[in-house]
Amino acid sequence: MSHVGGPFKHDIFVSYSHGDVMGEGDSPLKRWSGAFVAQLESELRVDPRFGKGLSIFIDQHHRPAQGIDPLAPLTEHLKAEVGLSALVMALTSPHYLRSAWCRDEREFWVSQQEALQLPTRERIALVHIWPVESSEAWPALFLDSRGNPLLGFTFFDRGNQLNPRPFGWHEPKPDNDSQFRKAVLDVAGRVGLKLTELKAMLEERSRALSQVDKLSGGALRTVYLHGRVDQADAWEKAHAILSQGGFAVFPGEPDPIEADPAQQQMLSAHRVSTLSGCDALLLLGSSDKRAVDTDLVVVGRNERESAKAKSKCALPCALLDMVGLPVATPQRKRAAKTLQVEWIDSTVDPWLPKVESWLVEKSQTIRRSL
% of the chain beyond a pLDDT of 90: 72
- Residues 229-263: b if buried by 16+ CB within 10 A, e if exposed: eebeebbeebbebbeeeebebbeeebbeeeeeeee
pLDDT band at 25 (very low <50, low <70, confident <90, very high): low
Classified by CATH at the fold level, domain 10-207 comes out as: Rossmann fold (3.40.50)
- Asked if the bond preceding 326 is cis, omega within 30° of 0, the reply is yes
> Do the domains 10-207 and 216-369 sit in the same CATH topology, yes or no?
yes
Q: What is the pLDDT, as a whole number, of residue 22?
A: 53
**Least confident piece of the model among 4-8, 71-75, 181-185:** 71-75
Contact in structure between 283 and 245 (CB atoms under 8 Å): no
CATH number of 216-369: 3.40.50.2300
Q: For residue 188, which of 367, 47, 358, 76 has the smallest C-alpha distance?
A: 47
pLDDT band at 105 (very low <50, low <70, confident <90, very high): very high
Report the Cα–Cα distance between both ends of the chain, in Å, rounded.
23
Average pLDDT over residues 103-116: 94
Collapsing DSSP to helix, strand or coil, 370 comes out as coil
Check pLDDT > 70 for residue 312: yes
Hey, which residues does 85 pair with through a beta bridge?
10
The domain segmentation of the chain, as residue ranges, is: 10-207, 216-369
Contact in structure between 284 and 322 (CB atoms under 8 Å): yes
Pairwise CA distance, residues 267 & 258, whole Å: 8
Mean pLDDT of all residues belonging to the chain: 90
Q: Which residue has the higher pLDDT, 322 or 71?
A: 322
Name the pTM for this structure.
0.78
Collapsing DSSP to helix, strand or coil, 162 comes out as coil
Collapsing DSSP to helix, strand or coil, 128 comes out as strand
Contact in structure between 127 and 92 (CB atoms under 8 Å): yes
pLDDT band at 225 (very low <50, low <70, confident <90, very high): very high
Pairwise CA distance, residues 104 & 258, whole Å: 67
